[in-house]
Structure 1
Amino acid sequence: MLHLRSTVLLAILPIQASADVQSVLRPHGEDASRIAEISWVMFIGAGVIFLLVMILLAVALYGKPQARTLLGRRSLIVAGGLAFPIAVLSALLAYNLKAASSSAMADTAPAVRIEVVGEMWWWRVRYLAANGQPLFETANDIRIPYGQPVEFVLKSDNVIHSFWVPELAGKLDMVPGHVNRLRVQAKNAGVFRGQCAEYCGAQHAKMMFDVQALDPGDFQQWVAAQREPARKPADDTLRAGQRHFLQACAQCHAIRGTAAAGTLGPDLTHIGSRRSLAAGVLPNNVGTLAGWIAGGQHIKPDNAMPSFNRLSSQDLRAVAQYLESLE
């Protein structure tokens, strides 16, 4: 019995841990609240209907002869098997359509517009000015002001991805050659996990991102900091790390304020301020930076970045420390 209990607990714990990371039943956004409300109404309605059917089944199998005879009447069959389902399903459909179409943000100009491009397998994020021109670029790290409508401009240049932050809004596909737009408004500050919700290749499950909802004043400060170029190395170790980075990484990555201007990989101008690496696979610190640089293909096979496993430990540590300093 003890072994059985342990097995059950081990099976439940990962589910609970996942629920603590992202859950459609813990809404923190306007759209997510409507989705959760619709889900609960549908679930409760289905539960009540299921319970009613089970009661009728029990009466039909074990009830008194008079009750069983009553269940066989034509009028009850027509009412329960035809009229009731049509009425209930029509009511639920009307409620669903009305609840899904009601949006307080529909006629409101967005306070922030963010272009998100699905890559293989990470998220390119560009913050846009009022005229649509990019202000700055980041990767796998999205920050928005809470209490204000935000518009995501969703694109893909490779395969179909699906942008999904369960606690803020519903999912929306990113289709090559087509632009989709998603409105989101966070109710409060917090960090909300996002996920690609459409199978897009080998590392689909490792294509995550964070959305941080900030106080509007803090958000504006963050935007101002992100628009600044990278800080210059402050000591010999960081200067050595920058030199190695420019030699080995500048072809694919950009760091504004340096000669690195690659566009194939993520912009790393302020990578030190991000919560995670490799689209949510690793926490962001010196050790994981070094591990990702040296063994990215072991951590996330078939991603576009090769493993730089020929760097000496000293050079690898210098590059990792330089990247960590870019806040």
Structure 2
Amino acid sequence: MSSAPRLTARSARCGLALTIALAHDKARAGFDATAHVATSLAGTQTPLAYFLHSKGPATEPVLYLGWILAAICTAVCAIITVMLIIGMFRRRKPEDPRSLSTEGGTSFVYVGTAISTVALLGITVYMLVVLARVAQPPNEPAMTVTVTAYDWWWKVDYGDGPSHFSSANELHIPVGVPVLILLKSADVIHAFWVPELSGKTQAIPGVTNRQWIQADRPGVFRGQCTQYCGLQHAHMAFEVYAQPHTDFEHWIAAQRMPAPVPANAQAARGATLFEKRCAGCHTVRGTRSAGVQAPDLTHVRSRRLIAAGTVANSPESLMQWVQHVQEIKPGALMPDMKLSPAEAGDLSAYLATLR
């Protein structure tokens, strides 16, 4: 057998073995993690739409700057292409090889250098102007929110003192007013970016950076960590919800409420199980669960996504996440929870009350 057929047969056998192994693993797990991830991302906006759309004053100047830079780059590429084509079909006249004098050609170098210098200086000045325009909000910020980056999720703190509460992977803001973001990191360097609302700002351990965002209309805007921070960097997303002022105030009032008391025996058993197994890391306000190393779950069922935008927040997906964390998001600090069917039912009933 020649080397090519032998390699093809070997590749086919390896592919078949890999397919069988993957099928066995999925059957053993009892669910398809890829399907859960795909479901969570369904209906979300494309982050790269920021090149075509701006939804706030912090990105509008950057939008126009991007268009101008793209036009200049396109023009440069077109000019170079035309010159290459001309050079391929137009030849110089034969010259005496013993001659020491050369004429022509240098004028193109002079003209090209002059045009490039003027263009680069103009772009530099324009970029500095844009940077100055987006450095500060046009008006005094209406509110301040603290966002702390963790491996690999986002903690969002609102208010101070008795009115303080925390959420996770969701940032709610009122429409039409600037919001100041205080950025922190609990572990490594991360970067906060909402493409349609703001530029990129790093979250650095031991440093508090400042960012401001403003949405001109209601909507949901996807954000992402853009500084490589480890294994699950790509699954460290969040969402910004821009709401009319009335809706925003209603959301704030609902989030400040403590968790409700379980209304039935199954939910009560689930609450007891939660305090035994989960309270060391998670907080549920109004209960004895007061962990600080993981997201606050007081109103977890009010969120559209969980696991920093990785999984859709349905009762089924939530329980799959609890029991199969390391298959959905390998490397996450949360371990897989080993639960019996009865315990899973009790815990699900309790989590369903956390709205």
Indicate the TM-score class for this superposition, using the shorter chain for normalisation. 0.7 to 0.9
* Paired residues of 1:250 and 1:260 also in contact (CA < 8 A): yes
* Paired residues of 2:156 and 2:169 also in contact (CA < 8 A): yes
Letter in 2 for 1:323: L
Letter in 2 for 1:238: A
Which residue of structure 2 lines up, in the alignment, with residue 112 of structure 1? Answer: 143
Residue among 105, 118, 122 paired with 1:91: 122
How far 1:57 sits from its partner (Å)?
Answer: 2.6
Which residue of structure 2 lines up, in the alignment, with residue 6 of structure 1? Answer: none
Using the alignment, how far apart are the partners of 1:181 and 1:197 within structure 2? 16
Residue among 159, 165, 173 paired with 1:144: 173
How far 1:297 sits from its partner (Å)?
Answer: 1.8
* Paired residues of 1:286 and 1:321 also in contact (CA < 8 A): no
Residue among 46, 50, 55 paired with 2:77: 50
Residue among 189, 200, 204 paired with 1:175: 204
* Paired residues of 1:290 and 1:317 also in contact (CA < 8 A): no
How far 1:304 sits from its partner (Å)?
Answer: 1.6
The aligned runs of 1:1-327 (5 Å cut-off) are 20-23=45-48, 24-25=50-51, 26-63=53-90, 72-80=104-112, 82-103=113-134, 105-106=136-137, 108-129=139-160, 135-309=164-338, 311-327=339-355
Using the alignment, how far apart are the partners of 1:288 and 1:123 within structure 2? 20
Look up the SS of the partner of 1:93 in the other structure: helix
Consecutive unaligned residues of structure 1, counting only runs of 5 or more, are 1-13
Which residue of structure 2 lines up, in the alignment, with residue 4 of structure 1? Answer: none
Using the alignment, how far apart are the partners of 2:107 and 2:280 within structure 1? 77
How far 1:236 sits from its partner (Å)?
Answer: 2.0
Which residue of structure 2 lines up, in the alignment, with residue 11 of structure 1? Answer: none
RMSD of Structure 2 on Structure 1 (CA): 2.3
Larger radius of gyration: 2
Size of the aligned set, in residue pairs, is 304
Letter in 1 for 2:315: V
TM-score (norm 1): 0.87
> How has the CA–CA distance of structure 1 residues 87 and 134 changed in structure 2, closer, same or farther, with 3 Å as cutoff?
farther
Using the alignment, how far apart are the partners of 2:149 and 2:217 within structure 1? 26
Using the alignment, how far apart are the partners of 2:336 and 2:91 within structure 1? 75
* Paired residues of 2:47 and 2:196 also in contact (CA < 8 A): yes
Q: Percent identity?
A: 37
How far 1:29 sits from its partner (Å)?
Answer: 2.0
Q: Deviations over 1:192-244 (max 9, x none)?
A: 11111111111111111111111111111111111111112122222221121
Letter in 2 for 1:108: N
Question: Higher relative contact order at CA 8 Å, sep ≥6: structure 1 or structure 2?
Answer: 2
Q: Deviations over 1:233-261 (max 9, x none)?
A: 12222222112111211111111111111
* Paired residues of 1:105 and 1:149 also in contact (CA < 8 A): no
Letter in 2 for 1:282: V
